[in-house]
Amino acid sequence: MARKHKRPEAKRKRPVVSLLGTVVVGAVAILGGSVLQAGLSSAFPKSVVSPGVSSAVHRLAAGVSVTVTGPHLLVSEQTGTLQIAVSVPRAEIAGSRVDWQSRPAGASAWRTDQTLQVDSAGRASVKVSPWKGTEYRAVVRRSHTVSDRVSTPFRVDTRPAGEAVVSPQGAAEPRFGAPADPARRPRAVGSGAHAIVSPVPDPVWERMAGVSFGEGCPVGRENLRYVQVNYWGFDGYRYRGEIVVHASIARQTAAVFTDLYRLKYPIRQMRLADDFGKDPLKGANDYSAMDADNTSGFNCRYVDGKEAQQVLSPHAWGMAIDINTWENPFHARTGVFPDSSYLDRDLLHRAVLDDPESPAVHAFENRGLQWGGRWEEKDYHHFETPPANRPEGKRTGP
């Protein structure tokens, strides 16, 4: 009997997957994982990313950085350049938006000053002109490649462009309430004194009405002018001052303070008398203004110490200016206003008006304003037009 030959067993069927297919699938898996991770990183907070991908997402996030570099000290109002650098691994960042923000040192709120774009290296530069202590930061906004990133605050301090005043040892200092604090002074505008004379604007008149201006004033709004001018503060920084005077001496006033600016004569502060409250009898509270060492002009009030006689001051016409009242007191028969610390005129202080020949006194008298330091009752802070040069005082409006 012939031996039967066994038919060879058929080979077990296996799934057919080409090598090319395997490579493609693997590539898609890898690419898909990367895209997924990037998408999760930008679209979800870390707290909601699953544990399986959080470490990779965190590694990617940890590699993103935004830094600011540059000088930490500048001269006040001079311009410096700060550099911004954005680093994002494996991402195209050219054209990414960067919000450039600032805030005064110690403040809580940030203000966006401008929006920048970084170059292909992730860099941008910005020019700054800080006011005293100022903090800056760069905020990179969310995009398809970058999630929000904020730089560490970068502080730039300034030193004053002018010379600070050194008070005599042991001399008393002015008395400031919160609204009268010189720290609230606005910074200078433009270069030089940059004096501007204008009719009294509505917001200024609203401050004055019922305070420095009221019933029985010998002049009206149309007779007055608002003067704004830069000045050198006691700390060596430049500030913007304001004063209201009679229209007939407005240009003279602007010229006087322009001269004082050129001389770098220091002024503690220069704001309307209205900021110091209402006097119970008449006008704004001149005693509080003097206590705060304020420089001011118009105030429809009585002469200090002569309120009982209801003697109107030349300030009621806007024809007088008081300057640095603390260092230049009024030595009247009824007392010393605001303080006796500087009755000794030999005290060394750059704001003291101690000599009729001093340049600061000349700045006023050359413009037709007489100095009270020449009087028997010495009013060292006071300058006024001669009585013969004053208007009749008839009002034509409110």
Per-residue pLDDT tens for 317-364? 999 999 999 999 999 988 999 999 999 888 889 999 999 999 999 999
Strand ranges (E), the chain = 65-69, 73-75, 80-87, 97-104, 111-117, 123-128, 134-140, 149-150, 154-159, 196-199, 224-232, 238-246, 269-270, 294-295, 320-322, 330-332, 335-337, 370-371, 382-384
Contact 290, 342 (CB under 8 A): no
Alpha-carbon distance 31 to 105, whole Å?
46
Phi-psi region of 308 (alpha: psi -120 to 50; beta: other; left: phi over 0): alpha
Token representation of residue 154: 């970068």
Contact 260, 289 (CB under 8 A): no
Give pLDDT tens digits for 217-240: 999 999 999 999 999 999 999 999
Looking at the DSSP bridge assignments, the partners of residue 127 are 81
% residues pLDDT > 90 (the chain): 64
> Edge-to-edge strand order for the sheet containing 65-69?
65-69, 80-87, 123-128
Give 300's contacts (C-beta < 8 A, 6+ positions apart). Answer: 212, 213, 214, 216, 217, 218, 219, 282, 283, 312, 315, 316
- Rounded average pLDDT over 176-200: 89
In one letter, which amino acid is 5? H
- The pLDDT of residue 44 is above 60: no
What is the per-residue pLDDT for 39?
A: 39
